[in-house]
C-alpha cells in the first residue's frame, strides 16, 4: 500500500492569540497606571461631581470668599487617629474633611494655609488644642481624650473654632468652613436692627422659672449673630440709628405711631426692611404672656406702612396647602393615629423661585398658619414673589386654626382653589411716605427726641423690602432640631428657614458671598409621587369618613331618643315602646351596623391602596434592575448569534 506523506504542522494560533491577549492586558494596565500618575501630578484637584446637588463641588459663594482673601488665614485640623480606629465613621469623615480643606487651599491661591495635627495624650499639641477651645471627648472608660476640631486664625490673632466635628453635620461642612473663614476675613459686620414682640434674644422670665428648654434665644438669632451685629430696637424708639443697615421687624404688635414713623423714615432714607407679619403666631400662642397664660391676640401687622407702599398682608385668612402638609397626632378619639395638618406645610419645588439668589439653592421652607402677601395692582412698585404655596391650596378664616384647630375636619372640608398664594415676596421701587403730613403727635407726657432728621415724604431712591406674612419662620420647632452633645448645644436644621432668613438679610445688607452655600447638602427629599398618592387617598378617605361619621352620630342619637321614648307627643317619656318604635329601633341598629361596616371598608381600602403601592415599589426596586440586565444580556447574546450566523453564511 502506498504510504501517505504527513501533512504540515498547523501554526500555533491558540498560543499566539494567548500571547497577544496577555500583551494587550499588560499594555492596558500600564496605560491605566500612567494615566492615573499623570492625572495625580498634572490635575491634582480635578474632580467629576455627578451628584444631583453637586455636593462635592465648592459653591460660588465659597470661591468668592476665598478669592477675596487679602491676608493669609491658617486653619489647623486637630484629629486624633485613635478616634478613627475606635469609630470608623469618624475616620471616614476625617478623610472627607481633609479633602475639603485641601480643595479650599487650592482655590485660595495660597492665601489659606493648612496644618494637620494629631494631639496625642499629654503632648504639646494636645495643650495647644485645648488652648484654642477644641473639645476633647473620652474614647473609653480610662478617660483618655480624643479630638476632632478646627481652629482658624488670621494675622491679627483673631480666632474662630469648630470645637468638634460630627458626621451628622457632614452636609453642612462647607457652610461651617466658609463661615469660619468669612468671619476671620471680615472683622466688620453689618448692623442689623431687631424689632419683635417675640423673645428672639431669649426670655429672662422663663429662665428665672427654670423651665427646661425655655427662655433660650431663638436659633435664628444666634445664627444671624454669627454674620451680623444685632441691635435690639425698643418699641418706644423715635428713630432708627443711621448705622443700622437692615431692620428686621417680626410679629409687630401695637407699635406706637412714633415707632411706625421711625420705620417709615428709615425706609425713606434708604434703609432695608425685612417685615414678618402674621395672621396667627404659633410661636406666640405656645408661650406664656405677662400673666403666665398664652396671649389671645396672636395677629400682627404693619398695615399703615405696607398699604401705603402698595402691599397687603391680610390678618383674617390663613393659607392651607396639601402638598407638604405636616403629619400631626390626630384626635385621641380618631381612628387614624396621624393626619395631615394643612396649616403647617413645607414649600418645595416650584414654590421656591430659582431666579432669586436668596432662594435659588433652598430645598424646602416651612410655614405655620401663614397668610398671603398681596400686591395692590395700582401700586408703582416691582413685586417679586419668592415663595408661594402649591396649586393645591386654599384660604380659610384664621379662626379655624387659632383655637382648638381640628386637622381632620380641615382636611375633610379642604377644597383647593388652584391658585399659588404668595407667602413671601420682595418689593422694590420709589415709595411715598405713609406720613405725608409729617411726624405724628406724641402721647401726652412724651417728649420728642432732639436732633431728629428732617421729614421725607418720599424715598430718596428705590426702596428695598422683603415682606412675609408669617413670623413662625423664626420658630425653632418648625425648622431645626436642637440637641445637647456633651454639654454643647448642637442645632441640626431639617428645613431651610434659617438659611432663608440669613440669605435675605445678607442680600438686603448688600453681600451675597455666603448665599450659595448655606443650604448645601441634602435636605429632606420625600418621594413626591408616593406622597401625592397618599395625600389624595387620605383626603378622599377623610371626606367619606366625615359624611359617614355624621350619619352614624345622627342614627345613634335617634336610637337613644327611641329607647328613652322621647319621640312621644309633648316630649314625655313612654312607659311602653310601640311595635312601630320597635321596628324603627331595629332599623336604626341595622343602619349603625351598616355604617360602621362602611367606615371599616373605607379604612381598609385606604390601607390597601397604600400597601399595594408600597408592594409595587418594593418589587420594582428589587426586581427591575436584575430584569433589565437579564434582558440586555439576552438581547446582546441574540445579536452576537445573528452576527455569527451572517458571517458564516
Residue 61 contacts residue 514 (beta carbons within 8 Å): yes
Q: What is the mean pLDDT of residues 7-27?
A: 62
Residue 310 contacts residue 427 (beta carbons within 8 Å): yes
Residues 219 and 278 in one domain: yes
Residues 87 and 202 in one domain: no
- Parent domain of 149: 60-169
Residues 517 and 535 in one domain: no
333 band by pLDDT with thresholds 50, 70 and 90 = low
Is 299 domain-assigned? yes
User: Is a pLDDT exceeding 80 seen at residue 540?
Assistant: no
Q: What is the mean pLDDT of residues 189-194?
A: 92
Residues 584 and 609 in one domain: yes
Is 226 domain-assigned? yes
Residues 475 and 602 in one domain: no
Q: What is the mean pLDDT of residues 343-356?
A: 92
Q: Give the per-residue pLDDT at 233.
A: 95
Q: Give the per-residue pLDDT at 571.
A: 45
392 band by pLDDT with thresholds 50, 70 and 90 = very high
Lowest mean pLDDT among 211-220, 273-282, 380-389: 211-220
Residues in the chain, overall count: 649
Domain boundary among 139, 169, 199: 169
Q: Give the per-residue pLDDT at 171.
A: 73
Q: Give the per-residue pLDDT at 230.
A: 94
Q: Take residue 297 and report the three cell numbers written for it.
A: 391676640
Is 227 domain-assigned? yes
579 band by pLDDT with thresholds 50, 70 and 90 = confident
Residue 517 contacts residue 181 (beta carbons within 8 Å): no
Is 628 domain-assigned? no
User: What does the pLDDT look like over 436-491, one tens digit per residue?
Assistant: 999 999 888 888 888 889 999 999 989 999 999 999 999 999 999 887 766 667 78
Is 20 domain-assigned? no
Residues 227 and 134 in one domain: no
The total of structural domains in the chain comes to 3
User: Is a pLDDT exceeding 90 seen at residue 275?
Assistant: yes
What distance in Å separates the CA atoms of residue 298 and residue 285, rounded to the nearest whole number? Answer: 7
Q: What does the DSSP assignment read for 231-273?
A: EE--TT-SS--TT--EEEEES--S--HHHHHHHHHHHHTT-EE
202 band by pLDDT with thresholds 50, 70 and 90 = confident
Range picked from 214-228, 330-344, 605-619 for highest mean pLDDT? 214-228
Residues 519 and 537 in one domain: no
313 band by pLDDT with thresholds 50, 70 and 90 = very high
Kind plus residue range of the DSSP H or E element containing 13: helix 13-42
Residues 287 and 429 in one domain: yes
Give the whole-number percent of the chain exceeding pLDDT 90.
43
Q: Give the per-residue pLDDT at 379.
A: 86
Closest CA to 163 of 131, 121, 117, 115: 131
Is 253 domain-assigned? yes
CATH code, 127: 3.40.30.10
Average pLDDT of the chain, as a whole number: 82
111 band by pLDDT with thresholds 50, 70 and 90 = very high
418 band by pLDDT with thresholds 50, 70 and 90 = very high
Residues 84 and 108 in one domain: yes
CATH code, 220: 3.40.50
Is 103 domain-assigned? yes
Residue 367 contacts residue 342 (beta carbons within 8 Å): no
Is 264 domain-assigned? yes
Closest CA to 242 of 197, 306, 193: 193
Task: Please state the three-class secondary structure of 551-578 as a single string.
Answer: HHHHHHHHHHHHHHCCCCHHHCCCCCCC
Residues 260 and 307 in one domain: yes
Domain boundary among 137, 169, 201: 169
Residues 116 and 242 in one domain: no
Residues 378 and 488 in one domain: yes
Q: Which residues contact 504 (CB under 8 A, 6 or more apart)?
A: 274, 358, 466
What distance in Å separates the CA atoms of residue 422 and residue 419, rounded to the nearest whole number? Answer: 9
Q: Which residues contact 223 (CB under 8 A, 6 or more apart)?
A: 491, 498, 501, 502
Q: Which residues contact 287 (CB under 8 A, 6 or more apart)?
A: 199, 203, 206, 294
pTM beyond 0.75: the answer is: no
573 band by pLDDT with thresholds 50, 70 and 90 = very low
Lowest mean pLDDT among 1-15, 115-129, 262-276, 573-587: 1-15
Amino acid at each position: 500500500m502506498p504510504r501517505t506523506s504527513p501533512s504540515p504542522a498547523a501554526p500555533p494560533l491558540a498560543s499566539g492569540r494567548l500571547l497577544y491577549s496577555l500583551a494587550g492586558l499588560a499594555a492596558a494596565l500600564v496605560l491605566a497606571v500612567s494615566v492615573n500618575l499623570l492625572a495625580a501630578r498634572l490635575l491634582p484637584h480635578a474632580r467629576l461631581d455627578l451628584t444631583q446637588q453637586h455636593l462635592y463641588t465648592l459653591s460660588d459663594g465659597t470661591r468668592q470668599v476665598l478669592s477675596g482673601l487679602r491676608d493669609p488665614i491658617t486653619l489647623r485640623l486637630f484629629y486624633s487617629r485613635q478616634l478613627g480606629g475606635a469609630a470608623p465613621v469618624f475616620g471616614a469623615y476625617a478623610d472627607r474633611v481633609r479633602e475639603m480643606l485641601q480643595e479650599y487651599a487650592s482655590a485660595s491661591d495660597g492665601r489659606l494655609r493648612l496644618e494637620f495635627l494629631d494631639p496625642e495624650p499629654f503632648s504639646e499639641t494636645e495643650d495647644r488644642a485645648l488652648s484654642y477651645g477644641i473639645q476633647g471627648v473620652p474614647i473609653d472608660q480610662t478617660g483618655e481624650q480624643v479630638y476632632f476640631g478646627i481652629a482658624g486664625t488670621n494675622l491679627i490673632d483673631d480666632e474662630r473654632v469648630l470645637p468638634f466635628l460630627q458626621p451628622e453635620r457632614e452636609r453642612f461642612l462647607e457652610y461651617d468652613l466658609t463661615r469660619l473663614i468669612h468671619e476671620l476675613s471680615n472683622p466688620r459686620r453689618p448692623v442689623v436692627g431687631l424689632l419683635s414682640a417675640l423673645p428672639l434674644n431669649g426670655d429672662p422670665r422663663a429662665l428665672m422659672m427654670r423651665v427646661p428648654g425655655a427662655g433660650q434665644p431663638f436659633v435664628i438669632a444666634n445664627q444671624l449673630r454669627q454674620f451680623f451685629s444685632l441691635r435690639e430696637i425698643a418699641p418706644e424708639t423715635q428713630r432708627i440709628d443711621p448705622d443700622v443697615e437692615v431692620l428686621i421687624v417680626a410679629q409687630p404688635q401695637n407699635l406706637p405711631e412714633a415707632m411706625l414713623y421711625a420705620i417709615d423714615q428709615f425706609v425713606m432714607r434708604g434703609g432695608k426692611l425685612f417685615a414678618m407679619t402674621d395672621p396667627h403666631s404659633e410661636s406666640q400662642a405656645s408661650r406664656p404672656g405677662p400673666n403666665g397664660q398664652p396671649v389671645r391676640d396672636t395677629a400682627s401687622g404693619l398695615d399703615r406702612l405696607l398699604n401705603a407702599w402698595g402691599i397687603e398682608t391680610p390678618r383674617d385668612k390663613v393659607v392651607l396647602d396639601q402638598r407638604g402638609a405636616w403629619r400631626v397626632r390626630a384626635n385621641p378619639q380618631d381612628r387614624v393615629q396621624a393626619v395631615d395638618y394643612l396649616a403647617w406645610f413645607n414649600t418645595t419645588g416650584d414654590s421656591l423661585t430659582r431666579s432669586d439668589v436668596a432662594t435659588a439653592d433652598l430645598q424646602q421652607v416651612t410655614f405655620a398658619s401663614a397668610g398671603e402677601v398681596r400686591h395692590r395692582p395700582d401700586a408703582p412698585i416691582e413685586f417679586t414673589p419668592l415663595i408661594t404655596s402649591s396649586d393645591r391650596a386654599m384660604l380659610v378664616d384664621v379662626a379655624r386654626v387659632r383655637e382648638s384647630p381640628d386637622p381632620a375636619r380641615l382636611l375633610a372640608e379642604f377644597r383647593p382653589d388652584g391658585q399659588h398664594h404668595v407667602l413671601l415676596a420682595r418689593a422694590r421701587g420709589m415709595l411715598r411716605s405713609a406720613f405725608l403730613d409729617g411726624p405724628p403727635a406724641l402721647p401726652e407726657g412724651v417728649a420728642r427726641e432732639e436732633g431728629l432728621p428732617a421729614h421725607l415724604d418720599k424715598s430718596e431712591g428705590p426702596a428695598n423690602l422683603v415682606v412675609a406674612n408669617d413670623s413662625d419662620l423664626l420658630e425653632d420647632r418648625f425648622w431645626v432640631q436642637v440637641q445637647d452633645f456633651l454639654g454643647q448645644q448642637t442645632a441640626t436644621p431639617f428645613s431651610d428657614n434659617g438659611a432663608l432668613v440669613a440669605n435675605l438679610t445678607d442680600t438686603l445688607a448688600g453681600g451675597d458671598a455666603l448665599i450659595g452655600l448655606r443650604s448645601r447638602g441634602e435636605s429632606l427629599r420625600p418621594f413626591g409621587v408616593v406622597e401625592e398618592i397618599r395625600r389624595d387617598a387620605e383626603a378622599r378617605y377623610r371626606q367619606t369618613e366625615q359624611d359617614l361619621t355624621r350619619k352614624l352620630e345622627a342614627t345613634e342619637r335617634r336610637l337613644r331618643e327611641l329607647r328613652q321614648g322621647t319621640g312621644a307627643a309633648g316630649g314625655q317619656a313612654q312607659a311602653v315602646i310601640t311595635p312601630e318604635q320597635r321596628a324603627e329601633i331595629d332599623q336604626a341598629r341595622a343602619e349603625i351596623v351598616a355604617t360602621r361596616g362602611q367606615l371599616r371598608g373605607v379604612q381598609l381600602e385606604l390601607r390597601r391602596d397604600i400597601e399595594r403601592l408600597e408592594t409595587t415599589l418594593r418589587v420594582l426596586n428589587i426586581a427591575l434592575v436584575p430584569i433589565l440586565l437579564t434582558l440586555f444580556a439576552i438581547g446582546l447574546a441574540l445579536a452576537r448569534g445573528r452576527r455569527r450566523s451572517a458571517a458564516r453564511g
